[in-house]
Each structure stands twice: as structure tokens, then as C-alpha cells.
Amino acid sequence: MVSGSAGGEFEQLGLPSWERKAADLLLVLRSGGALGEPERVVYRVWRGAERGRWEEWGLRYDLTLILAGEIGGELNKTFGHYHAPLPLWPQGFPELYQVLEGRGLFLLQRPGGREVALSLAGPGEAVFIPPGFGHLTVNVGPEPLLVSNLVLAEGEALYEPFARSRGGAWYVLKGDELAGFRLRPNPSYSELGLPRLRPPLYLSFRLLDRVRDCPEEFRFLLHPEAELPFWMRGAGSEKGEVLLEKGGSARGGTSPSVQ
Ligand SMILES: [Fe+2]
């Protein structure tokens, strides 16, 4: 398990990990070449960060640590990707995230940006990525953002669509004291509408503990016909696709200023 993440202690011997530096994000940044410090690490990913019975079910548990900061005014973010189609998941497979430390903004988008949802999540809160949505995560807080995720182990991430569009449908810029961040539309997206704010799921447990104890509850990440566990139904839907459709407007939280 990753601990003391704020202090540069993220070397986890024996665990496969990779990092992205500012220069690696060049293709998805609003500022283009204005990198500041191109060699600065923006985030690090541990794939298969914990081993367990869920691997026999075809699930993988990962951790991502996104450091606080900005690149050319844009808050530190992941590159963004879609999930490659599979026979069972022609639109791409789903994924479930949970924030462990810090404060994150999850941007979910359909190809072309015709539907975009934003979820602001703090420690304990979870964000479901339904089939068909590309996604990226932004650290909108002053501390490192540590998120976990459970996902189909055999699934493949497609980064190229985000590179081709110079990032996600909206850029998340550093805000002022009133608003922690500001949104700017990405002009590469021609069908862009206003993003919907979608409340996160609050979970009373950590995904890692839950998947250790009850891996069968996560079958909905493996098979489109599987029932959602009761703690997902709390969001008001039976199926992930509907979960987003019915996600509705945000309850509480900070409203970003849209520009
Ligand atoms: Fe993903």
C-alpha cells in the first residue's frame, strides 16, 4: 500500500509502476509548449498495486497519485483515455474509482464531447465510469491526490483520441480563492455542450477492503448482465449507463465557474 504519498516516498519496490512527466502530457495540454519544468513528475500509476482473489475474477486494482500543481495554468491531470471495445463490451468496459486522499475532479466524456459529466470527489467518494465514456482525473486540491480503481484486467486503454483532440472536452484551470478551478472549453470539440455536474458515490468502505471480502460484488465490472451491488444502486439506478443519465445536477459542493 502506498503511504506517506506527499513526501516523495512513492517508490514501491517490487511493484510495477510508471510515471508521466509534464513533457509526456504535451499533446493534451491547452498551453501546448508552455511546460515550465518539462521533467517534473505529474503523476504515477501502480498497476496491480495489490494482489488478491479478485485477480482470478479478471479484475485489477490500481493506484494513481497525481501531485498538486499546474502546467501553464492548467491543473495537474492524467492524460485521459477511452476503453477499447471488447466482445462483451462493444462500447468499452466500465471502471470504478475511489479517492483515498485529496480532492479530484473526474471528467467523463462521450467521443466528440457531445455528453460531458464532471464529478468532484474527496476521500471515500467513488466515481463510476460507464461504458462508452472516456475519462481523465484532475487534482483540484492543494495536496497530492491518491485514487484507487478497479477495472477489467484484460482491458486496454486508448490514449490516442485524447491526443488527437489536444486533451479532454474541457480544460480545468487554476481558479482563485472563490472558485478552486475554472473550466475552459476545448475548441477541438465541435459538439460541445455544458458539462453536467454529477455527484460522486459515497462509500463507507475502501474498494480494496470490499473486493478482498466480496469480489463477487464487482461482477458488474466484468459482465454487462451482472446486477449492481446495493451500494451502487444507492445512486438511483440499476445500470451504469443510467447512472450517468440520471446522475442529475450536483448536490452541494463547489460550483466551478464556467468560462
Ligand atoms: Fe480507465
Tell me what the mean pLDDT of segment 33-41 comes to: 81
Q: Which residues surround ligand 1, an ion (CB under 5 A)?
A: 95
What's the 93 CA to ligand 1 centre distance in angstroms?
Answer: 9
pLDDT at 193: 82
Cα 25–Cα 26–Cα 29 angle in degrees, nearest 5: 85
> Distance from first CA to last CA of the chain, Å, rounded?
39
What's the 178 CA to ligand 1 centre distance in angstroms?
Answer: 31
Tell me what the mean pLDDT of segment 247-252 comes to: 32
Residue that is written with C-alpha cell 483540484 in the block = 140
What's the 239 CA to ligand 1 centre distance in angstroms?
Answer: 18
User: What are 65's strand-pairing partners?
Assistant: 44, 146
Tell me what the mean pLDDT of segment 31-40 comes to: 79
What's the 199 CA to ligand 1 centre distance in angstroms?
Answer: 19
Tell me what the mean pLDDT of segment 103-128 comes to: 95
pLDDT at 211: 96
Tell me what the mean pLDDT of segment 232-249 comes to: 46
What's the 149 CA to ligand 1 centre distance in angstroms?
Answer: 9
What's the 231 CA to ligand 1 centre distance in angstroms?
Answer: 21
Tell me what the mean pLDDT of segment 110-133 comes to: 95
What's the 117 CA to ligand 1 centre distance in angstroms?
Answer: 15
pLDDT at 33: 65
What's the 97 CA to ligand 1 centre distance in angstroms?
Answer: 9
What's the 136 CA to ligand 1 centre distance in angstroms?
Answer: 8
pLDDT at 234: 57
Flag the least confident range among 70-84, 116-130, 167-181, 212-226: 167-181
Tens of pLDDT, residue by residue over 172-222, are: 999 876 678 999 999 999 888 889 999 999 999 999 999 999 999 999 999
> So where are the chain's domains?
27-242
Provide CATH code, domain 27-242.
2.60.120.10
What's the 248 CA to ligand 1 centre distance in angstroms?
Answer: 22
Tens of pLDDT, residue by residue over 135-160, are: 999 999 999 999 999 999 999 999 99
Q: Indicate whether 2 pLDDT > 50.
A: no
What's the 82 CA to ligand 1 centre distance in angstroms?
Answer: 6
What's the 177 CA to ligand 1 centre distance in angstroms?
Answer: 31
Q: Indicate whether 230 pLDDT > 70.
A: yes
What's the 135 CA to ligand 1 centre distance in angstroms?
Answer: 6
What's the 181 CA to ligand 1 centre distance in angstroms?
Answer: 23
What's the 156 CA to ligand 1 centre distance in angstroms?
Answer: 9
Instruction: Give 61-64's long-range contacts (Cβ < 8 A, gap of 24+).
Output: 61/148, 61/149, 61/150, 61/207, 61/208, 61/211, 62/148, 62/149, 62/151, 63/2, 63/100, 63/146, 63/147, 63/148, 63/149, 64/137, 64/146, 64/147, 64/148, 64/149
What's the 95 CA to ligand 1 centre distance in angstroms?
Answer: 6
235: confidence class by pLDDT, cuts 50, 70, 90 = low
